Amino acid sequence: MLLLLLTAAFTTAHGGNVTYDGRSLIIDGQHKILFSGSIHYPRSTPEMWPSLIATAKKGGIDVIQTYVFWNLHEPQQGQYDFSGRRDIVKFIEEIQAQGLYVTLRIGPFIESEWTYGGLPLWLHDIPGIVFRSDNEPFKVFTILSLSYYNNFTTKIVNMMKSANLYASQGGPIILSQIENEYSMIEGAFHERGPPYVRWAAQMAVGLQTGVPWAMCKQDDAPDPLINTCNGMECGKTFKGPNSPNKPSLWTENWTSFYQAFGEEPYLRSAEDIAYNVALFIAKNGSYVNYYMYHGGTNFERTGSAFVITAYYDQAPLDEYGLIRQPKWGHLKKLHAAIKSCSNTLLSATQTTLNLGTKQEAYVFRKSSTECAAFLENTDNKAVTIRFQNIPYSLPPKSISILPNCKKVAFNTAKVRTKYSTRTMKYGLQFGSNEQWEVYQEAIPKFDETSLRANKLLDQIGTAKDTSDYLWYTFR
């Protein structure tokens, strides 16, 4: 009986195999073009999760991407919380139930406009610690704790394994990420930076999740980790994979931008997003993640300094999970046009044709009858070009997608989705103080305090993240 059970488990793992080559991720032996959307479980309520995931799927999304928020789960060392909005297993299981994949960005540092970048505050008190560097205290307390199962990254991986959530176990997680945009600060660590990158990669692979690992904005991501792109124009800015055996993945296509107090919302058009996605796919990209697809809310004190509670409200799904048009609808049509010729895109060789001074064609031809093309116009004015002796009118700054190299199925600049407006109405009027919850900070009296120091006190080290305030008297 034991032998039979082990055989069955091995068969399941084999059936969910995820690998990659120079063209794309390969799931169950099939190359895939994947559209992903970032939805962070603690920035919405569990009651919202099914609707958010279902609406994303309806919009042509294949993958839900989320960070893992260390300081939310381990606010005190060794004391974990996976309840309510923190229930990451429940969130991923809901994604699986709706037939979508998952990309899990473990960190341990995540940024994400989240307080302390996701690092728990108690790390601050570890003697000799230097965050995100080739520093033994940081590595010990983040990854290789002597108490193996109390280690956070290992704990998260083991939680996923226990729930059979990795694709290698038949689950939905097809890709994991370690660290986050480290190249932006790597130089500040001088000789301690590169060894940390290599160590983090080696550690991640050693956890044996059965799925690939990625490092975003890390051009020197060590093999076998995939280096990926973040930004708004990865079709133009991405230097490409650092190995011919790795695919082109875009882990953050910013649908808007985070908003700080006093700033106006950043409005990125549906046309601009679609144009850059189409260009990335035309240049052999195979995975695009929208950051954010639903931003949600920075509840309580989780937002980083100056960031408002509404997070990426201008995303395809707004703060409340409502569809924001035309972004949602325009991108849905883009996804459908690309998916209609994905087999050709993944199996044919791409060639580039010059159609004018500022016009190009990206052609994927597999046979005389199987062909797909992207016709790009980078000019600020409309032009008419000829492709295969057929005239095509291209709007300014646009790409036309021809799934059969003949008929235009989609143009990034032609928005045929109606604009939506969001209106609010009173649902409940508070009539008494008893219906409000008010948080009050304690204002101490100096004579009743006991803490004294012969130096200026550090707010974080003194308040231990229990308050944003430090009352003090000094002389």
Residue among 186, 252, 271, 360 flagged as catalytic: 252
The pLDDT-based confidence of 396 (bands split at 50, 70, 90) is very high
Name the nearest CA neighbour of 396 among 269, 243, 248, 232: 269
Name the nearest CA neighbour of 238 among 246, 247, 250, 226: 250
Of 376, 408, 440, the position where a domain reaches its end is 408
Candidate from 89-98, 155-164, 218-227, 451-460 with smallest mean pLDDT: 451-460
For the chain, give the mean pLDDT.
Answer: 91
Per residue in 274-320, pLDDT (tens digit) is 999 999 999 999 999 999 999 999 998 999 989 999 999 999 999 99
Candidate from 223-227, 325-329, 413-417, 454-458 with smallest mean pLDDT: 454-458
What H or E segment, with its residue span, contains residue 30? strand 30-32
> Is 452 domain-assigned?
no
On the question of pLDDT at 461 being above 90, the answer is: no
Shared domain for 316 and 357, answered yes or no, is: no
The pLDDT-based confidence of 439 (bands split at 50, 70, 90) is confident
In this predicted structure, what is the pLDDT of residue 427? 75
In this predicted structure, what is the pLDDT of residue 126? 84
Shared domain for 399 and 314, answered yes or no, is: no
Shared domain for 265 and 390, answered yes or no, is: no
> Is 423 domain-assigned?
no
Mean pLDDT over 233-242 rounds to 98
Shared domain for 134 and 96, answered yes or no, is: yes
Distances (CA, A) of 244 to 205, 343, 344, 349: 20, 20, 20, 14
Shared domain for 353 and 330, answered yes or no, is: no
Residues with Cβ within 8 Å of 464's Cβ and at least 6 positions away in sequence, in order, are 121, 122
Determine the Cα–Cα distance for residues 324 and 411; give it in Å rounded to an integer.
20
Of 408, 439, 459, the position where a domain reaches its end is 408
Query: Phi and psi (nearest 5°) for 114?
Result: -110, 145
In this predicted structure, what is the pLDDT of residue 387? 97
In total, the chain counts a number of residues equal to 475
In this predicted structure, what is the pLDDT of residue 210? 96
The pLDDT-based confidence of 9 (bands split at 50, 70, 90) is very low
> Is 79 domain-assigned?
yes
Candidate from 43-47, 295-299, 447-451 with smallest mean pLDDT: 447-451
On the question of pLDDT at 13 being above 60, the answer is: no
| CB-CB contact of 350 with 371 (8 Å) | no
On the question of pLDDT at 442 being above 90, the answer is: no
186 is catalytic: no
Determine the Cα–Cα distance for residues 456 and 112; give it in Å rounded to an integer.
30
Q: Which tokens sit at 44?
A: 């919405």
- Strands 173-178 vs 101-107: parallel, antiparallel or unpaired: parallel
> Is 474 domain-assigned?
no
In this predicted structure, what is the pLDDT of residue 15? 33
- Strands 63-67 vs 34-39: parallel, antiparallel or unpaired: parallel
Shared domain for 364 and 215, answered yes or no, is: no
Shared domain for 217 and 158, answered yes or no, is: yes
Shared domain for 326 and 392, answered yes or no, is: no
Q: Which tokens sit at 206?
A: 């050693």
Candidate from 278-282, 419-423, 461-465 with smallest mean pLDDT: 461-465
In the chain, the number of structural domains is 2
Q: Give the DSSP per-residue string, 366-414.
A: SSSS-EEEEEEE-SSS-EEEEETTEEEEE-TTEEEEETTSSS--EETT-
Per residue in 307-354, pLDDT (tens digit) is 999 999 999 999 999 999 999 999 999 999 999 999 999 999 999 999
Per residue in 56-85, pLDDT (tens digit) is 999 999 999 999 999 999 998 889 999 999
Shared domain for 170 and 51, answered yes or no, is: yes
Determine the Cα–Cα distance for residues 240 and 247; give it in Å rounded to an integer.
8
> Is 466 domain-assigned?
no
| CB-CB contact of 235 with 283 (8 Å) | yes
In this predicted structure, what is the pLDDT of residue 46? 98
> Is 85 domain-assigned?
yes
**Residue 40, domain CATH:** 3.20.20.80
**Residue 390, domain CATH:** 2.60.40
181 is catalytic: yes
Shared domain for 269 and 199, answered yes or no, is: yes
Residues with Cβ within 8 Å of 241's Cβ and at least 6 positions away in sequence, in order, are 22, 226, 227, 247, 248
- The beta-strand segments (E) located in 77-235 are 101-107, 173-178, 213-216, 226-231
Shared domain for 222 and 368, answered yes or no, is: no
> Is 3 domain-assigned?
no
In this predicted structure, what is the pLDDT of residue 4? 33
Q: Which tokens sit at 469?
A: 């305030």
> Is 330 domain-assigned?
yes
- The pTM is what? 0.92
Residues with Cβ within 8 Å of 143's Cβ and at least 6 positions away in sequence, in order, are 108, 151, 153, 154, 200, 203
The residue range of the domain holding 356 is 346-408
Q: Give the DSSP per-residue string, 35-65.
A: EEEEE-GGGS-TTTHHHHHHHHHHTT--EEE
Shared domain for 357 and 235, answered yes or no, is: no
SS3 155: helix
Of 375, 408, 441, the position where a domain reaches its end is 408
